[in-house]
Amino acid sequence: MLRSSLAWTCFAAFTLTACNGAPPSSEAGNEGVSTTPITTETGNDGDGDAGDGDGDPGDGDGDGDPGDGDGDGSTTGIKFDLNPASDGGDGGGVLCSDDLKQILDENNTVLANCEPGTACFEGDCIEMCLAAGLSKGSIGCEYYVPTPPFYSNQAGNGTTFDGSCHAVMIANSWDTPAQLELSFLGQDYDYAAHARIPSGIGNNVVYDPIPPDGLPAGQVAILFLSHNTNAANGGNPLTCPVPPALVNQDAVVFGTGSLEAWEMISDTPVTVYDILPYGGASSYLPSASLLQPRTAWGQNYVIANPHDTSGYAWLLAVAREDNTTVSINVSTPVQAGTIMVPPVNTPTDYIINAGETLQWMNATQLAGTIVASDKPIGMYSGNTYLRVATMDVNGGGQDSSHQQLPHVQALASEYVGPGIPTRKSNMQPESVLYHMVGMVDGTELSYDPAPPAGAPAMLDLGQIVEFESSTLFTIRSQDDDHPFSFTQYMAGAINPHLGGCLGQCAGLGDEEWINLVAPAQYMRRYVFFVDPTYGVSSLAIVRTQGTNGFEDVELACYGVVDGWSSVGNEGLYEVAHLDLYRGGVGQCAQSQQEAWSVAPFGIIVWGVDHYASYGYPAGGNARTINDLVVPVG
- The whole-number average pLDDT for the span 507-516 is 97
**Residues 484 and 461 sit within 8 Å (Cβ to Cβ):** no
| Tens digits of residue pLDDT in 159-191 | 667 789 999 999 998 999 999 999 999 999 999
| Tens digits of residue pLDDT in 84-135 | 333 333 445 799 988 899 999 988 899 999 999 999 999 999 999 999 999 9
Half-sphere exposure of 298 (CA within 13 A, CB side): 30
Q: How far apart are CA 55 and CA 90, in angstroms?
A: 18
For 580, phi then psi, to 5°, come to -75, -45
Amino acid letter for position 536: V
Mean pLDDT for the chain overall? 87
Q: What are the residues facing 107 on neighbouring strands? A: none
Q: What are the residues facing 529 on neighbouring strands? A: 592
Predicted confidence at residue 472, as pLDDT, reads: 99
How would residue 155 be classed by pLDDT, with cut points 50, 70 and 90? Answer: low
- Radius of gyration for the alpha carbons in the chain, expressed in angstroms and rounded: 23
Predicted confidence at residue 83, as pLDDT, reads: 38
Q: Answer whether residue 49 shows pLDDT above 50.
A: no
Taking the mean position of all CA atoms in its chain, how far away is CA 234?
Answer: 29
Predicted confidence at residue 17, as pLDDT, reads: 31
Which of 16-20, 157-161, 340-344, 549-553 is predicted with the least confidence, judged by mean pLDDT? 16-20
- The whole-number average pLDDT for the span 563-578 is 98
Predicted confidence at residue 32, as pLDDT, reads: 28
For CA atoms 387, 390, 394, 397, the dihedral sign is negative
Amino acid letter for position 202: G
What 3-state class would DSSP assign to 532? coil
How would residue 279 be classed by pLDDT, with cut points 50, 70 and 90? Answer: confident
| Tens digits of residue pLDDT in 132-151 | 999 999 999 999 999 999 87
| pTM score of the predicted model | 0.86
| Tens digits of residue pLDDT in 584-605 | 999 999 999 999 999 999 999 9
Predicted confidence at residue 161, as pLDDT, reads: 74
User: Running DSSP on this structure, what letter comes out for residue 396?
Assistant: -
Predicted confidence at residue 65, as pLDDT, reads: 43
Predicted confidence at residue 396, as pLDDT, reads: 85
For CA atoms 154, 155, 161, 167, the dihedral sign is positive
Taking the mean position of all CA atoms in its chain, how far away is CA 511?
Answer: 17
Predicted confidence at residue 395, as pLDDT, reads: 87
How would residue 152 be classed by pLDDT, with cut points 50, 70 and 90? Answer: low
Q: Answer whether residue 4 shows pLDDT above 80.
A: no
Q: Which residues, 6+ apart, have CB-to-CB distance to 284 below 8 Å? A: 233, 236, 397, 399, 510, 611, 612
Q: Answer whether residue 24 shows pLDDT above 80.
A: no
